[in-house]
Structure formats: structure tokens, C-alpha cells
Structure 1
Amino acid sequence: MPRDLPPPPPPAHLRAWMDDTVVRADRARFLSDLGRHSLGLGRLLLLWAVSAVFALGWSFVGMALMAFEAPDPFSAVFGLVFAVLGAGVLIPAGFWFAWGARRDRQVRRLLSAWAETDRDPAADSRLRAPGRSLTWLLSSFVLGALGLWLTFGTALSARAGEDTYGEVTYYMGLGMILWITALLGTAKAAAHYHWALRAFRRS
């Protein structure tokens, strides 16, 4: 596990020899820490940061598309440069996103493992984190509404002869990045809340 994540719980046969008070205290502390790793403000900002990097890379791609549509040959050279810059931003952003998804899976595994070690109604009720889930949901709703407006608004308002294919593609792609980010945020908040309800239904 990464150093900044809590360790997995000790096996059941070892916990039987440990002080119950110590195990319960570790459980409450580690679950609280993992809850922040899962739905903390830092995770939300990280998701938006990845989205911003994707938007930056897509901006270079959009400029490349618009340059390729220009009639002069020098624009094609600029378009190639913008395309390379876009790939140089989007590819690392993809690796960054994959790292975040892998880390989220590690956090979920640790949450499930520690939740199954014991029951502590006071600590478990806080881990449901309805306030943090609501923050993720509301912010994702606003971001998704903006993304859908930008995507479909661009498509509906495009006029032949006035807007180029590159411009329309760029703005629609930017809108898709926003609402896909919103979908990810909504799914993450809903999944955590429903998991907490199932995991602690007897608490």
C-alpha cells in the first residue's frame, strides 16, 4: 500500500490476541482517514485538476483542428505543433487518471477490510459522510449542467459558414470533459454513501 494510506487490518487470528480497545481505536482512526482519502475536499480538487489538464490538452487539439482548416500551408505546420502539444498533455493526464482510479480501488478495499473487523456505531455513523457526499453531488451537478449546456448549446447554435468544424468540435469536446467529470464525481459520492449504508447497516 502507498505510504500515505493506512495499513490493512491484521488477520483475525492475530486480532484475537490483541487488545479490543486498541483494535477499535485503530479501526476508527483508519476508517476516518480512509474516508477523507475517498471523499475529502482534496480528492474533489484532484478530480477537477485532472479535468483541467484534460481541458488544456483538448484546447491544443482544438487549436490544431482549427489550424488544419485554415487555407494557408503555414497553418498546417502550426496545427501539427498544437497536435503534438495536445498529445503531450493528454497522455500524461491519462496516466494520472489511471493512477487515481487505482488508488481509489485501494482505498475502497481498505475501507471494506477495516469496516468488517468490528462494529462501532458512533464512528461508523460519521463515516457515512452525508455532508461530504452532498458536497460532491451538488458541485458535480453544477459542473455537469455547465458541460451539457456547452455541449448541446454549441451543437444547436452552430451555423454553416460562420462556425468551423474545428470550433464546434472543440467546444463540444470541452463540454463533454466537464459533464464526464461531473458523472465521475456523482458516481463516486453515490457509491460511497450506498457502500457505507450497506457496510454499517447493523451499526
Structure 2
Amino acid sequence: MRMTGRELPPPPPPAHLREWLDETVVRADRARFLADLSRRGLGLGRLALLWAVAAAFALGWAFVGLAVTSFEAADPVESLFGAVFAATAVGVLVPAGIWFVRGARRERREHELLCGWVEAGREPVVDPALRAPVRSLVWLGASLALGACGLWTAFAAAAGVRPGATAYGEVVGFVGLGMILWITGLLGAAKAATHLRWAARAGRPAPAAARRRPVLSDVAG
């Protein structure tokens, strides 16, 4: 079965149908689908996508800062620009939020399929590759660095406030940018740590009862 780049693998066959299927074909499908799902979840493309969503949020928040600065000037012309900046911020942040929610739902479905195919049987050759330690460490290291940069940006902006000299819009912009970077780094680090913990649990030998009669219809969460 060939899949496009956006098409997800099918769920594992139910237990009552497996006895009618060729075990060799089922194992080949399992190995291929697990490799595809693992690559989707921790691929560099997914990391770049997460950062792209964060960049969209950062861009939208920059317009929020510009809007606050414009309204702060208490000038009719500046207020008009502030309204334009505020509308632009909404036009950027809302699609970014929708993009983020859709991506989170797709990742949840991918994880359900990954767990389901793992429970379809244990393969001593295939299963250790699911841990993907190199990709997990890349995600973890990059996310921690991004989160640290975000915290430094937020605290530096807050510490550098000078009453009467620093515009509120500037503070809002830089503190918000720092928080966006920090939250993005936190999400990436949590995903890498969660995958490593899940892979260690999934790599344990299945109980004897499960090996005799694997339950394929159950999808672990």
C-alpha cells in the first residue's frame, strides 16, 4: 500500500481478521507503517513546522506591540495606524491558532496509530528503531536552546523597563516574543521526553498472554 506525504497509515486489522491474513504481509505492513509514523512524529520537518507556527505567532504578536505603541501616542493618525496593526495581528494570530490546533489533532491521531501498530506484535529488529535517540536528542537540545532564548528575552525586556522612557508597546512585544519562544521550546522538549519514555515502555517484551493472542483492535492512548 502506497501513501502520499499527507495520508496516514490505516489502523491495524482487528484480531478476528488477522487469522485470515498473511502473517508475512502483516509484519511487512507493520514495519513500514511504524517507520513512517516514527519519522513523521520526530522528523526535522515536524520540528521546522512547529517553529514556523511559532514564527507566525511571533509575527502576529509584533503587530500587537505596534498597535499598543500607536494607541499609546494618543494621536488620531497614530490611532488609525493602531487599528490597522490590531486588525493585522488578528489576521495573523487566528490562522496561526487554527494551524496549531489542526497540527495537534493530527499528531494525536498519528500517536494513536503508532501505539496501535506497536500492539499488533513485537518485532525484535524493528521495535528498537522506534526509540529514535538521535532525533529525540535533536528535538530536546534545539527546544531547550529555544526555550532558554525565550526566557532570556522576556526577563531582559522586563528588567530593562524604565518608567517614562520605555514604551509599553515595546515591553509587550518583547515579553510576548520571549514567552512564545519559551512555550515553543517547552512543547518541543516535552514531546521529545514523552517519546523517549513511551519508546522505552513500548520496547518491553509483551506478556505471554499478549504474545499468544495480540489484541489489534485496541489503540493505546
Indicate the residue corresponding to 1:100 in structure 2: 103
Among 45, 48, 51, the alignment partner of 1:48 is 51
Q: Could you say what secondary structure the match of 1:119 adopts?
A: coil
User: Are positions 1:29 and 2:36 aligned together?
Assistant: no
1:71 CA drift (Å): 3.2
- 2 CA distance for matches of 1:77 and 1:156? 31
Distance of 1:35 and 1:69 partners within structure 2: 49
TM-score (norm 2): 0.89
Whole-angstrom distance in 2 between the partners of 1:10 and 1:126: 22
Gaps spanning 5+ residues in structure 2: where? 207-221
Instruction: Give the equivalent residue in structure 2 for 1:169.
Output: 172
Structure ranking higher in helix proportion = 1
> Aligned equivalents of 1:16 and 1:135: distance in 2?
41
Q: Stretches of 4+ moved more than 6 A in 1?
A: none
- Aligned twin of 2:138: 135
Establish whether residue 61 from structure 1 lines up as the match of residue 64 from structure 2: yes
Which residue of structure 1 lines up, in the alignment, with residue 80 of structure 2?
A: 77
Displacement of 1:73 = 1.6
Distance 1:89 1:169 in 2: 17
Q: Distance in 2 between matches of 1:202 and 1:190?
A: 21
How much does 1:32 deviate? Answer: 0.4
TM-score normalised by the chain length of structure 1: 0.96
Q: Once the 2 structures are TM-superposed, how far is the Cα of residue 30 of structure 1 from its aligned partner?
A: 0.2
Matched, 1:196 2:199: yes
User: Which structure 1 segments of 5+ residues have no match?
Assistant: none
Report the number of matched residues.
202
2:157 is the alignment partner of 1:154: yes
* % identical equivalent positions: 62
Name the aligned partner's letter for residue 56 of structure 1.
L
Structure 2 residue corresponding to 1:39, chosen from 38, 42, 47: 42
Q: How far apart, in 2, do the equivalents of 1:143 and 1:11 lie?
A: 43
- Residue 122 of structure 1 aligns to a residue whose secondary structure is coil
- Cα distance in 2 for partners of 1:62, 1:161 equals 17
Q: RMSD of the alignment, in Å?
A: 1.2
Secondary structure of 2:187's partner?
Answer: helix
SS in 2 for 1:5: coil
Q: Which digits, 9 at most, give the CA deviation of each residue in 1:130-189, with x for residues without a partner?
A: 111000000001101110000011111111122111111110000000010001101111
2:125 aligned counterpart, secondary structure: helix
Q: Partners of 2:161 and 2:100 in 1: how far apart?
A: 32
